[in-house]
Amino acid sequence: MIRVLIADDEALMRAGIRLILENADDIRVVAEAQDAQEAVEACRAHPVDVALLDIRMPGDGIAALAGITRHAPRTRAVMLTAFGEEPTVAAALRAGAHGYLLKDTGPHDLIDAVRRAAAGHPVLAPQITRQLIEFRARPDHGSDTAARRVAELTPTERDVLRLLGTGLSNADIAARLHLSTGTIKAHISNILTRTDCTNRVQAAVLAKEAGLLD
């Protein structure tokens, strides 16, 4: 059973999301919150697998994300919001978000996204992915810093990071590089440590910033 927290200051929005998610047999909403502090406290008080956080809720969604990452590191946070501006998305992903969805996401896609996030896969709305790629293509996106971080990796680790950045699973990366899945997991663990990334989503953003996907 996937345990979910819904954090949004609009009661009607929380009720709508709960109604959608509870149509899935393997998802249960275990807590709700209307501001950042409540969201962090709820994740500390309840075992939560996926937290859906409104980025513009009182107290700031990114602050809630930081608190959850610190106090409930096993919880995977997905920003669910009406706002998809590139700097906001980038800030959320850098802060450790496992995904970013827009509030007009369809019911089926929302359920699928929660399942993917619970399984540890990055979740990005298609519109967000396009905006990120365009944003990272601009000359002021910090590519020099990203390139320096990636330069610390071995050639194989850079290959793994590049494929991770395209959204491939561990099994798919292993097949592409003719390595075992266990070896790929070890490489990804090393990549996250050496590049100071919290999760796969941050690593994927880093791959884009460093030009590995060009």
CB–CB of 72/39 below 8 Å?
Answer: no
pLDDT value at residue 140: 47
- Please tell me whether residue 156 adopts helix, strand or coil conformation: helix
Last residue of a domain, one of 91, 109, 134: 134
Closest CA to 171 of 183, 162, 159: 183
- Please tell me whether residue 125 adopts helix, strand or coil conformation: coil
pLDDT value at residue 187: 95
Q: Label residues 101-139 b or e (16+ Cβ within 10 Å = b).
A: bbbebeeeebbebbbbbbeebbbbbeebbebbeebbeee
Alpha helices in 35-180 (DSSP H): 36-45, 61-71, 86-94, 107-118, 126-136, 143-151, 155-165, 170-177
In a domain, 214, yes or no: no
CB–CB of 192/174 below 8 Å?
Answer: no
Q: Does residue 28 share a domain with residue 123?
A: yes
CATH number of the CATH domain containing 114: 3.40.50.2300
pLDDT value at residue 85: 63
Q: Which residues contact 8 (CB under 8 A, 6 or more apart)?
A: 14, 17, 33, 34, 52, 54, 57, 80
pLDDT value at residue 198: 77
**The residue to which tokens 């998610």 are assigned:** 21
Q: Does residue 121 share a domain with residue 23?
A: yes
CATH number of the CATH domain containing 200: 1.10.10.10
CB–CB of 28/2 below 8 Å?
Answer: yes
pLDDT value at residue 124: 79
Residue type, 204: A
Q: Does residue 177 share a domain with residue 125?
A: no
- Please tell me whether residue 80 adopts helix, strand or coil conformation: strand
pLDDT value at residue 165: 86
* pLDDT tens for each residue of the chain, 214 residues long: 999 999 999 999 999 999 999 999 999 999 999 999 999 999 999 999 999 999 889 999 989 999 998 899 899 999 987 766 667 777 787 778 888 888 888 999 999 999 999 988 878 776 666 555 555 544 444 556 888 889 889 999 999 999 998 878 889 999 999 999 999 999 999 999 999 887 787 888 888 888 888 6
pLDDT value at residue 127: 66
pLDDT value at residue 81: 79
pLDDT value at residue 92: 80
The two structure tokens encoding residue 183: 């070896």
State the Cα–Cα distance between residues 182 and 104, nearest whole angstrom.
37
Q: What are phi and psi of 197, to 5 degrees?
A: -100, 145
Last residue of a domain, one of 81, 111, 134: 134
Last residue of a domain, one of 134, 153, 176: 134
State pTM to two decimals: 0.68
Q: What domain range is 28 assigned to?
A: 2-134
pLDDT value at residue 175: 94
Q: Does residue 70 share a domain with residue 52?
A: yes
Question: Number of structural domains, the chain?
Answer: 2
Q: Does residue 192 share a domain with residue 105?
A: no
pLDDT value at residue 137: 45
Q: Does residue 25 share a domain with residue 97?
A: yes
State the Cα–Cα distance between residues 95 and 108, nearest whole angstrom.
27
